Amino acid sequence: MIETELSRSVARWCPGATGATRAAKLSGGASQETWRFDIVHPDGNIGAILRRAPPGSGASSMRGPGLEAEATLMQFAHDAGVPSPRVLHVLTPDENLGAGFIMARVEGETIARKILRDEEFAATRPILARQIGRIASGLHGLPAAKLPSLRTVTSTGEIADLAREYRGLGRPRPVVELALRWLSDHDPGLSAEVTLVHGDFRNGNLIIGAEGVRAVLDWELAHLGDPMEDLGWICVNSWRFGEIDKPVGGFGSREDMFAGYEESGREVDPDRVMFWEVMGTLRWGIMCSRMMQRFRTWPDHSMEHAMIGRRASETEIDLLRLLAPRGR
């Protein structure tokens, strides 16, 4: 039972801790497991989160730096003032919990539809886009020399990777062909500035409270690259959850996000942000198509794969809205 292993673990590294209780697996996270639990302590229980690779899988993916590097990165960001959960412990093999780490629990809301619709967040929504710009600016300003080893992503390489993935699916889609051609025609090439890029900076990976963003989650796709990638990704229509007229996460404008980003002296390139928004929309569409292919061909016929896979057609509409808007 996972509580038994967690109890043994926390007793080793958390002074005074006597065990773990109330362990519950959280929904979400297609590639990593997330568990909520409390560390039992005489001074009062400590809220914690276990993030680990699913049993039987590896600790990292082709695109991600690995869980140990992710933990290092999150703690570095936390210490530098970027809102990120504090890492309490990195798991070791003898703990029998797999590869992963334990972090302090940050309370708040992550469900995008609640953040965008509940009255509880009515006064919060107008401040989020500018706040997100400030957070992205801080994240991109972290000194590269102190970062763990990360892969470098270029726009040209991403176009080639997406084209290869798409053609490997064996299902021609004219809108995807249009998007790939547009991206090749507008490829900005190697960015003049290469920074840390979160890689999945969007509504759904943010913990929100009444005062705004409390933490940025899911750093598993972090890499080095064009900082405008993060600003484009959060504007992808799939992360607006129906609020299509508010491009930043469904709660704000690009102008507010850009203003927040530039408050610290960093510059925004709107054309590159647009490029990465198109790239992100296409990437998500291909990921959805891959999920549908898995649903069709894998023996388990996962309903999750089917539900995500059906959204491929939505991304084609989004690409047409970006590349061939009405009235142009």
CB neighbour class for 271 (10 Å; exposed up to 12, middle 13-18, buried from 19): exposed
pLDDT of the residue at 59: 47
Dist CA 48 CA 39 (whole Å): 7
**Residue 305 and residue 13: Cα distance in Å, rounded?**
38
Report field, pTM of the whole predicted structure over 0.85: yes
CATH classification for the domain delimited by 21-104, as one of 3.30.720, 3.30.200, 3.40.190, 1.10.287: 3.30.200
pLDDT in tens, the chain (328 residues): 899 999 999 999 999 999 999 999 986 555 689 999 999 999 999 999 999 987 655 544 556 788 999 999 999 999 999 999 999 999 999 999 999 999 999 999 999 999 999 999 999 999 999 999 999 999 999 998 889 999 999 999 999 999 999 999 988 999 999 999 999 999 998 888 999 999 999 999 999 999 999 999 999 999 999 999 999 999 999 999 999 999 999 999 999 999 999 998 899 999 999 999 999 999 999 998 888 777 667 676 666 766 776 788 899 999 999 998 776 5
pLDDT value of residue 310: 75
CA distance 139 to 82: 6
- In the chain, CATH 3.90.1200.10 sits at 112-323
What kind of fold does domain 112-323 have according to CATH? Aminoglycoside 3'-phosphotransferase; Chain: A, domain 2 (3.90.1200)
Angle, CA 148 vertex, CA 145 and CA 151 arms, to 5°: 95
Find, among 150, 144, 173, the residue nearest to 80 by Cα: 144
> Environment class of residue 216 by beta-carbon count within 10 Å: exposed (0-12), middle (13-18) or buried (19+)?
buried
pLDDT of residue 308: 76
Residues of the chain with CATH 3.30.200: 21-104
